[in-house]
Amino acid sequence: MKKIPTNDGKVRVHSRIETKDGLTNIPQPPSRKPATCKRCRTIMYPGPTGAPENHKKGYCSDGVKQMLAHSKQNQDPPKPNQSVSLAAPVWPQPLGIFTNGTQFHPMVFLDKVRDMYAKVVIERASGELLLEHEAFAHLLARCTVVLENQSVLFKIFDLECSASTPEGLIVTHESDKYLRVNCLQEPPGS
């Protein structure tokens, strides 16, 4: 074992070991933790480059972008006592609402609202709320505003909306884009 002086004057033991046949064993660096996605917490690259099981570049398996761009549109709508923040929808969102990290599909979203609302109420009562339903309920709670005229609006992210979205469903409120969620609107007089 060789001792080599270092710049600070101290002597450190060199870690290379000379073997009898002249080969040098270079110790492997300590194994690094595999990179995991901050949003869905899965291992980013379990397979070789380009393998289908690898995490997609920039978005998770539910099609949601890992990190939303900092824009006013992507901020949580400030409600009383709520600080404005910027956070991507919690993982995992139901499939088909978000795709490729760049698209939002309002009609699929509205279908899910109708489909899931009753289920969430039942599941919550039984204590067996599916993770996906919980994430969706969280998204709804965070991004929905109810106006004085009782209309319910969901603040859509700074994403491309599918071309099939009927025009009247997207409205602008305080210069941000929202989707009308008429099925969550309380009937008048209730």
Report which residue's Cβ sits closest to Zn ion. 37
Strands 103-104 and 160-161: parallel
60 contacts Zn ion (rule: CB under 5 A):
yes
Other CB atoms within 10 Å distance of the CB of residue 179: 23
Dihedral sign for Cα atoms in the order 56, 62, 67, 68:
positive
Q: Which is nearer to Zn ion, 39 or 180 (CB)?
A: 39
* Distance in Å, CB of 41 to Zn ion, minimum: 7
Instruction: Using the rule CB under 5 A, give the single segment among 59-67, 104-112, 129-137, 153-161 that binds Zn ion.
Output: 59-67
- With CB under 5 A as the rule, give the number of residues binding Zn ion: 4
> CB-wise, 40 or 145, nearer to Zn ion?
40
C-alpha dihedral sign at 150, 171, 85, 141: positive
Q: Is 37 in the site for Zn ion (CB under 5 A)?
A: yes
Residue 40 engages Zn ion in binding (rule: CB under 5 A): yes
DSSP codes of every residue in 46-65: SSSTT-TTSPPSSB-TTS-B
